[in-house]
Amino acid sequence: MQESQNALYSEDSNFKRYFKQLKFSLRDPVLMVSVISVTIIVALFIVIPLFSILRESVEESGKFTLQSYFAIFRSSYDLEIIWNTIKLGIVVASLGTAVAFLFAYATTYLKIPNKKFFKVLSILPMISPPFVISLAAILLFGRSGLITYKLFGVRNDIYGFWGLALTQVLSFFPIGYLMLTNLLQNIDPSVEEAAQALGSNQSRVFRTVTIPLMLPGLANAALLIFIQSLADFGNAIVIGGNFTTMAVQIYQQGIGSYDMQGATALAVVLLMISVLAFYLQNSVIGKKSYITVTGKASKQRVLNANKKVTIPVYVVCMAISVTVVSMYLLVPYGAFVRLWGVDFSFTTRWITYVFTIGMRYIKDTTVLAAMATPISAIMGIVAAYLIVRKEFPGKKALEWSILMAIALPGTVLGLGYVLTYNTPPLILTGTGFILVVALVIRSMPIGTRSAIAALKQIDPSIEEAASICGAGSHKVFLSVTIPLIRPVFFSGLVYSFIRGMTLVSTIIFLVSARWQMLTVAIMNQVDQGLYGAANAYCLVLIAIVGGVMLLMSLFVRTLGINLNEGY
Amino acid sequence: MKKSIALLFIMVLIVAMTPVFAQGAQERPQTLTVYVGLLEEHGAAICQAFEKATGIKTQYVRMSGGEIYARIRAESQNPQASVWYGGGSLTFIEADNNGLLEHYISPNAAIIDDKFKDPNGAWTGIYSGYLGFYADGDWLKRNNVEMPRTWNDLLNPVFRGEIVMAHPGSSSTAYNMLTTILQLQGEEKGWEYLVRLNENIRQYTKSGSAGGRMVQLRETALTIGYLHDAVAFKREGYEHIVIAAPEDGTGYEIGAVGIIKGAPQLEAAKKFVDFVLTAEAQEIGQTVNALQFLTNPNARPPKEVESIKDTKLIDQDDAWSGANRSAFLNKFNQLTRTAPPN
């Protein structure tokens, strides 16, 4: 409907409308300042580096050429890799979203025991560089795996499609979980109770009320998991085996075969796939309305205790949790045994190593991640607010640019930074600043996506009411919007910090002699087969993240935000 | 109240952040920065020793050889580091062809064999490592198989699905093996051999060291790689690993050092190159489990690799290997159908 109306506008009146919006912005300085600053950051650290990469892919000794792109679409090998990547992305996105929803539903809707355990477990896989999971999968389920071989005597070849799919699902479902719990908590129980009062049974309520209300969230979660699976390099390189994905091929071609032009061209193709996925998601889901929070006082949800639902859900959640736990138990275990696979006697050698040689990595990483955290959480919310609630020229471009920052494989984005910011007018390489920027840009888009999903659930009339009563833009944002979506803000903080501590590929070209990152050190150890030191690093990393999460939740609680409260 | 706490929190963070922006920019010109393509500990030990010997403050960043090359290329307008220390000579040759290296012939390079250095001084060899096989000894015992002694022994059907090697397209180790075979057996027979070997290969890994890690964890029976890596695993305590150098001759890698074009610390970089070519500096490697052969004839090689020091080496033609790289890789991909399965 809206679309057909838009189509009636002529070019001219379109322009007038933009002009009107711009004038409106001038009347609202806070809005304008935030639009401008978000735009500048996005332009500097997403759009311009992207442009550098694009230029690298079409330039050969100063001349324009599309040679690399032709090469990709002529090579059956490259086409097969592209198909592999998409297939993997679809499988991982569907399974990952399903697992995420199951956990989110179980912890918010069902009356089951061990909820705290599930809550912790479902974010655990985020708190470590992703290759910890693939390594653990090999050690547990590989040909000499503790479970497959030692326990069942099966010589299982974990390398390949299913091994990779398993590790990616486990690595990426937590993001979906965080997003979906926030949304489920935001659904007013009275909506569902009304359906029940009108005679619907539980499964009908689930099918016709809960799921439709969750659609934008589910689609968003699936999109995020899909894109992350596409860009994932850490798992794919460790456990992919003969199954090659685009992110790995980009690395191989650019770093292994010195063919940066071909590699960047492939990266641009990868980016296009992500953009296409985003476009499809947007055009299918984006136009419908899913408002549930309308400002009315609501009550505590009556949890579903129906055994036919709770028992199977509990069993599945438990099985996944136990798998995750057993993977993570390998970390402290590996950190304290003398030699993985050979000598399982106790030693503090690796921990000592980490706190001597590794100390500078630990310090730098914590400092940089702590800085990036508030910036990316705040920016994520502000950007989402602008995108969902405000009208200003270039809004769509802003939304798309932010999404692109996660769609690029990290190595390529890092390379884009080096290409762009190693020469005047702006030299940033070698500073801690560029690392903070990389961390912010890599985690902010996810905060933005989940805040967008949350904001779409909230009726704008609440904010409009405040606005009519005389509150300015910033007042509405701070005292109405933020309180309504504070769990999203909190999980954005947590996520940014975790991401900051565990990001690998983007920063490999950005670490300098002065500023080092822990994950790079872990990757070096894994590369050399020194699992003891790698595990000890991971243990320290997990301990730091755990400690900071605890502090953050205490801090948030003193601010009066109760994370478990419903609306 | 709550809001002011939050505001305070943000302000404290912003103030705390200012040194980050300042420090990185300030510190750069005063110290020598080295990109290290070796083990982390090796880089740390060398930089420390150099600092002690000359008083020049030295810092390093550890990356793989290919990553160093990509980074130097990206930074070529404004180089961030002065020295590239460690990594295969083929990568150095590629960098030199793209004009990324400063030429410097160190006086200490005079005693180093010509085959271990570039005549124009673009790079100088610091160590060499031999290609060979290493296997899970327990697996061999269980299956009653002798450790392979020649390249042809690898074709034994008992190894079907048990050999893991890196893909020549992504790993310089594997590409070295490919050209070794072609040089050793002639092109026609060499390709035939690779096709037959392909039947026994379970997986082509991306990285040259991955196969070794799989033998280390008993994920596979046998791999082809640089023997000094295997010896290092053994010394760590992985005693089930058995090594062998092919008796019919094998290829080798040269680890090199070079100065980056436009090095911000050119004089210090030259001193660094002089230093790492000395016998004392080369012997540091053994103390941190880097067990390659050394290029300085006066340096004492690690005793762990003595058993393979008389391995027959082929007359390796790196220029030929480099020039034919894409043709060979294309042919390899076609012949082995290493398009991914599934």
Q: Is the pLDDT score of A500 beyond 70?
A: yes
Please give the Cα distance from A476 to A470 (Å, whole number): 9
Q: Is B103 exposed, middle or buried (0-12, 13-18, 19+ CB in 10 A)?
A: middle
Lowest mean pLDDT among A128-132, A145-149, A448-452, B259-263: A128-132
Q: What's the average model confidence in pLDDT over A423-435?
A: 84
Residues on chain A touching B333 (C-beta within 8 angstroms): 77
- In this prediction, residue B136 carries a pLDDT of 93
Q: Two tokens at A378?
A: 């705040």
Nearest Cα residue to A45 out of A434, A370, A394: A434
Q: Place B342 in a pLDDT band, splitting at 50, 70 and 90.
A: very low
- In this prediction, residue B276 carries a pLDDT of 95
- In this prediction, residue B5 carries a pLDDT of 52
Q: What's the average model confidence in pLDDT over A122-126?
A: 81
Nearest Cα residue to A292 out of A206, A210, A179: A210
Please give the Cα distance from B190 to B206 (Å, whole number): 22
Q: In CATH, what is the architecture of A24-52+348-567?
A: Orthogonal Bundle (1.10)
Q: What's the average model confidence in pLDDT over A288-296?
A: 59
Q: In chain B, what's the furthest Cα-to-Cα distance?
A: 82
Residues whose CB is less than 8 angstroms from the CB of residue B249 and which lie 6 or more positions away in sequence, other chains included = B184, B312, B313, B314
- In this prediction, residue A62 carries a pLDDT of 77
Q: Place B212 in a pLDDT band, splitting at 50, 70 and 90.
A: confident
pLDDT tens digit string along A262-279? 888 998 999 889 888 888
Q: Which of A512, A537, A558 to mutate to test the interface with B (most CBs of B within 10 A)?
A: A512
pLDDT tens digit string along B88-126? 888 898 899 889 999 999 999 999 999 899 999 999 999
- In this prediction, residue A2 carries a pLDDT of 42
Q: What's the average model confidence in pLDDT over B282-300?
A: 90
- In this prediction, residue A297 carries a pLDDT of 46
Residues on chain A touching B342 (C-beta within 8 angstroms): 84, 160-161, 242-243
Measure the N-to-C terminal CA separation of chain A; round to a whole number of Å: 32
For residue B112, what is the DSSP state?
S
Nearest Cα residue to B224 out of B240, B202, B195: B202
Pick B74's closest partner by Cβ from A144, A342, A419: A419
Q: Two tokens at B64?
A: 């793989």
Tell me if chain A has a CB within 8 Å of the CB of B304. Answer: no
Please give the Cα distance from B321 to B94 (Å, whole number): 12
Please give the Cα distance from A442 to A46 (Å, whole number): 10
β-strands B32-36, B83-88 pairing: parallel
Q: Is the pLDDT score of B229 beyond 50?
A: yes
> How far B110 CA lies from chain A's nearest CA (Å)?
31
Helix (H) and strand (E) counts in chain A:
27, 4
Please give the Cα distance from B153 to B48 (Å, whole number): 45
- In this prediction, residue A27 carries a pLDDT of 64
- In this prediction, residue B107 carries a pLDDT of 94
Q: Place A293 in a pLDDT band, splitting at 50, 70 and 90.
A: low
Q: What's the average model confidence in pLDDT over A469-481?
A: 82
Q: Is the pLDDT score of A556 beyond 80?
A: no
pLDDT tens digit string along B7-22? 555 555 555 555 455 4
CA-based nearest residue in chain B for residue A527: B209
Q: Is the pLDDT score of A25 beyond 70?
A: no
Residues 14-53, chain B, touching A (beta carbon < 8 A)? 16-17, 20-21, 23-25, 27-28, 31, 33-34, 39-41, 44
Residue A386, helix vs strand vs coil:
helix
pLDDT tens digit string along B183-200? 999 999 999 999 999 999
Interface touch A430/B28, C-beta < 8 Å? yes
Pick A255's closest partner by Cβ from B70, B217, B238: B70
Q: Is the pLDDT score of B311 beyond 60?
A: yes
Q: What's the average model confidence in pLDDT over A530-535?
A: 84
For residue A110, what is the DSSP state?
B
Q: In chain A, what's the furthest Cα-to-Cα distance?
A: 78
CB A227 within 8 A of CB A413: no
Q: Is the pLDDT score of A163 beyond 70?
A: yes
CA-based nearest residue in chain A for residue B6: A559
Interface touch B202/A512, C-beta < 8 Å? no
Nearest Cα residue to B68 out of B51, B81, B55: B81
Please give the Cα distance from B35 to B56 (Å, whole number): 16
β-strands B293-294, B124-136 pairing: antiparallel
Nearest Cα residue to B190 out of B338, B339, B334, B332: B332
Nearest Cα residue to B69 out of B113, B123, B25: B123
Pick A243's closest partner by Cβ from B17, B91, B340: B340
Residues 223-282, chain B, touching A (beta carbon < 8 A)? 233, 236-240
Q: In this structure, is the dihedral angle defined by the CA atoms of residues A523, A524, A530 and A535, taken in order, positive or negative?
A: negative
Share of chain A above pLDDT 90, in %: 11
SS3 of A302-355: CCECCHHHHHHHHHHHHHHHHHHHHHHHHHHHHHHEEECCCEEEECCHHHHHHH
Interface touch A255/B217, C-beta < 8 Å? no
Taking the model in full, what pTM does it have? Answer: 0.81
Q: Which of B2, B10, B20, B143 to mutate to test the interface with A (most CBs of A within 10 A)?
A: B20
Residue A481, helix vs strand vs coil:
helix
- In this prediction, residue A290 carries a pLDDT of 62
- In this prediction, residue A3 carries a pLDDT of 41
CB B322 within 8 A of CB B260: no
For residue B300, what is the DSSP state?
P
CB A401 within 8 A of CB A46: yes
Q: Is the pLDDT score of B23 beyond 50?
A: no
Q: Is there a cis peptide before residue A425, judged by omega within 30 degrees of 0?
A: yes
Helix (H) and strand (E) counts in chain B:
13, 11
Q: Two tokens at B71?
A: 């980074």
pLDDT tens digit string along A205-260? 888 888 888 888 888 889 889 988 998 888 888 888 778 889 888 887 877 777 78
For residue B277, what is the DSSP state?
T
Which residue is listed with tokens 């540091």? Answer: B284
Tell me if chain A has a CB within 8 Å of the CB of B110. Answer: no
Pick B13's closest partner by Cβ from A143, A371, A560: A371
Q: What's the average model confidence in pLDDT over A138-149?
A: 82
β-strands B124-136, B241-244 pairing: antiparallel
Interface touch B341/A160, C-beta < 8 Å? yes
CB B135 within 8 A of CB B242: yes
Q: Is the ipTM of this complex over 0.90?
A: no
Tell me if chain A has a CB within 8 Å of the CB of B204. Answer: yes
A169-187 CB burial, b ≥16 within 10 A, e <16: bbbbbbbbbbbbbbbbbbb
Domain boundaries, chain A: 24-52+348-567
Which of A280-284, A385-389, B188-192 shows the highest mean pLDDT? B188-192
Mean model confidence pLDDT for chain A: 82
Please give the Cα distance from A386 to A28 (Å, whole number): 13
Nearest Cα residue to B132 out of B228, B221, B202, B238: B228
Q: Is the pLDDT score of B318 beyond 70?
A: yes
Please calculate the CA angle A554-A556-A557 and round it to the nearest 5 degrees.
65
Nearest Cα residue to A462 out of A488, A475, A481, A482: A481
